[in-house]
Each structure stands twice: as C-alpha cells, then as structure tokens.
Amino acid sequence: MIPVNKSYLPPMEEYNTYLEKIWESAWLTNNGQMVRQLEHDLKEYLGVKHLFFTTNGTIVLQMAIKALNLSQKIITTPFSYVATTSAILWENCTPVFVDIDPQTCCIDPNKIEAAITEETEAIMATHVYGIPCDLEAIQEIAEKHGLKVIYDAAHAFGVNYKGESVLKYGDFSTVSFHATKLFHTIEGGAIITDDDDLARAIDLSRSFGHKGDDHFALGINAKNSEYHAAMGLCNLPRVPEFIRKRKALTEAYDEWLKPLPIFRPIVPDEVSYNYSYYPIFFENEKTLLKVKQNLEDNGIFARRYFYPSLNELPYVKGESCPVSEKLARTALCLPFYYDLTMEEAALVAKQLKAAMASANGNS
C-alpha cells in the first residue's frame, strides 16, 4: 500500500534525548525551554522578526483576525483548505470569495478590486501548494484601499521570494506544523509578523491575555507543549534535505508523467520552492474519479485536495468562482513524502498511466 502522505519521524534515540531533558525539568508546557528554543531557531532559519509557536495552524488565523480587530468582510480565496474560510466565519466575519489564477491556483489579484466595498477590511490569501500569491500586487491593492493582509501560508514553510521568506509579507502570515506538513511538530502552527505592536497582542492572546497575575487583554489558550517543540527541534535541521528529496521526486514525476493530458500549477519566477505537494489536474471530474478509484484498487491512495471549492460549501453564500470550481473538481494530489522511494514513485506513475488509459477507453 502506498499512502498519499506519511509523516517523517526522526530517529527515536534523538527524540528521546529531548524527552529526557523534559523529564528532568518536569516543565511540560507554558513556554518552556524547548518551545523557546524552537521559536528562536525558527526565526533564525526563516529570517523573520516575530514568530509564535502555537497549537495548530487554524487557531493562528483566528488570532490574526482578532488582533487586527476585523469584524466585517474579508476577501479570500475559494481554493484552499476549509480552515481558511472556517476561521473567517468563526470570528463572525464574512468571507467574500474572489476567483483564482488558473496557472498558480492562488487568488487572482486582477479580480480583487472589483470585490472591494465599504465593508471590506482585509484580504486573506493562501499560498496554494506552497506557491506564493502575487505578493506585490496584493500589497499594492491593500495599501491603495487601506486593507489588512493575512497570508495562510500553511504550505509555504521554507519558500522564498526574491531571496526572502514569503512569511515576511502581509500584516500576518500563518503556518501549519501538522504531521502531514513538510516540517511538522506532530500538531502545531505558528504566526509571524514584523509589527512590534501586533506581536505584543499575539503574545498576550496566545496565553489567556495575561502575564503572571497581570491581565491585559482578552485571550485564549494557543500554547503548545515541550513534547511538540521537541519534535520540531529534531526535524528543523533536516528541512533542507526534505526539500532536496521532494525536488528529486517532483522532477521524476514530471518526467514520467510528461506524456499525459494533465496540468500542473506553475511556480512563478524568483521563487525558491519547497515542493510541498504533487498536485495534478485532469481534463474533467469523470476522468479523475475513475483514475482515483483505479489507483485505490491497486493499493495507491491519492487525495482530492482541495475539494470542494469553498464558495460551494453548504453553509456559506459564495460568489460564483468558475476557475476555482473547475480546478477543485479536477485536482488530485499524488503520493508524496520524504520516505517515498523512487521505485514506489515509479509504480505510482506507471499505474496512473494505466488508469488514465483505462478511463479513456484505451484498454
């Protein structure tokens, strides 16, 4: 069986070295040594000013909305994981969906201004599959109309644009360190900002809004534990190797699948990519469903990611987004993870070719 994803686990003896230190200190959570070290190392690795390690990559979207005092309409993408829209709704704001660029799958900046009204307060955009949005165009629009910018960068850990981390853009960027991500802490996430005042607000909101016995603001519990930080400390030094291996797998898949009538998203120029996923797009949903079932029948599991287009969720009133709707119906992520061997990847490619031939009636 070949799964769509598999979490990387460091050598157990290495993780146990950190566990022994945790046992010795008996400091399990509440901003312990491991958490502080991980935050320091992440800031160094990413080249960002303020970074806060949290429980997951969804709560940080909610924290960003709260810290920016947003309460009305937020322009967002329909092509993302549901958490992007959920965070907006959870904070009692209204998502306004703008269609996506068919080449990058990110929000189309050329369509944003038409969606701006007097009630629009912010743009929440996703770096889809780790491919950066048009950062400069979005910033120009935001400055012109006085809007805040939040980037859902759950897939974009380690991605650079013009030599700098994409996480430095916007009022906030958020990342996920879920077990399925390129860099993970089992469960976890982080929120990043260059703004000192916003950083102070996040530092308080992550920990109930108080420091010691002094209470300053409304807060929640978004702290993460020493055990999760320890996993991050094991995995962070390996990120360059993770990216190198994923790049090699991507190039192999690209070569093997070149003859097939599928589309792949385009990574813009001046981007140093992290190869988070390997998505392909079919000509239609019928072919996708046949291929996916064929792969599963042969022990290979792929994922419809992202599906559905978020403007079509049953609990939102979404604008029509035909590009996103089409791509959501035809997107499939192939098995892709550090421990995937070239032999296994070749088997996936071989079976995919056979599945497509069968779906098209050529066998």
Q: Is the pLDDT of residue 363 over 80?
A: no
Residues 200-259 have pLDDT tens digits of 999 999 999 998 888 999 999 999 999 999 999 999 999 999 999 999 999 999 999 999
Interval 27-44 mean pLDDT: 97
CB 156 within 8 A of CB 175: yes
Predicted pLDDT of residue 184: 98
Average pLDDT, the chain: 97
Residues 64-87 have pLDDT tens digits of 999 999 999 999 999 999 999 999
Position 48 confidence tier, pLDDT thresholds 50, 70, 90? very high
Domains and CATH numbers, the chain: 12-98+106-237 (3.40.640.10), 239-359 (3.90.1150.10)
Residues contacting residue 286 through CB under 8 Å, at least 6 positions apart? 359
Predicted pLDDT of residue 362: 59
Residues 102-129 have pLDDT tens digits of 999 999 999 999 999 999 999 999 999 9
Q: Is the pLDDT of residue 361 over 90?
A: no
Instruction: Flag whether the pTM goes above 0.85.
Output: yes
Residues 301-349 have pLDDT tens digits of 999 999 999 999 999 988 899 999 999 999 999 999 999 999 999 999 9
Helix axis angle, 239-257 to 342-359, nearest 10°: 40
